[in-house]
Amino acid sequence: ETGVTQTPRHLVMGMTNKKSLKCEQHLGHNAMYWYKQSAKKPLELMFVYNFKEQTENNSVPSRFSPECPNSSHLFLHLHTLQPEDSALYLCASSQSGGRETQYFGPGTRLLVL
Amino acid sequence: DQQVKQNSPSLSVQEGRISILNCDYTNSMFDYFLWYKKYPAEGPTFLISISSIKDKNEDGRFTVFLNKSAKHLSLHIVPSQPGDSAVYFCAAKIRGGSEKLVFGKGTKLTVNP
């Protein structure tokens, strides 16, 4: 596998379910990101991790819980979501340093019923 | 308030002609700008970038122009090809080493054969 992979690619869950999204990067990067893309809205940054430490939380509700066990893996734990949380969730990675390009995974299309 | 704006949600051009995608920004602290391309069911892929110390950057058929005084950048694709049909996102980075990318809503480009 090369690049940034995300699983699952599609997820349907009820509001009482707990699920997790997984992201893995094979690029040797040390920064990882979660973005949300809702219909007709710009990509919204959710979280940033640098060397496994969370450096940014963009006012994300606590029903989204990120986890970064190492520089190659990033999880987004979901619980008690709302229908308006239905969106495309994208993971990205980059080298830290301020100007490095971010590389994106294919995304997980989430539908909350 | 959106800091990065792509005011044209869609653009249609003929194969072989020039495509011009526009982007405006409001935050004068941005010092690095990127264009990403996104096909359906895939994550955004990096296309080209420009630093605020430059006013033009060229890579093959793709050229990005930056007008700092107008807080405007544009992406030129020439000649346009049907395979260029995708959604193009403009993004900007905040000065100071932050990893945060701020995205526009995107412009859907259709290149007709």
Give the pLDDT of chain B (113 residues) as one tens digit per residue.
679 999 999 999 999 999 999 999 999 989 899 999 999 878 999 999 999 999 999 999 999 999 999 999 999 999 999 999 999 999 998 766 566 789 999 999 999 99
Q: Where are the beta strands (DSSP E) in A2-57?
A: 4-7, 10-13, 18-25, 31-37, 44-50, 53-57
B22 Rama sector, left if φ>0, alpha if ψ -120 to 50, beta otherwise: beta
Chain B residues in contact with A107 by the CB 8 A cut-off are 42-43
For A91, nearest residue in chain B (alpha carbons): B43
CA pseudo-torsion sign A76, A86, A45, B108: positive
Question: Encoding tokens for residue B64?
Answer: 């990005």
CA separation for the pair B106, B83 (Å, rounded): 17
Tell me how close the Cα of B68 comes to any Cα of chain A, in angstroms: 18
Chain B residues in contact with A48 by the CB 8 A cut-off are 99-100
CB contact under 8 A, A42 and B4: yes
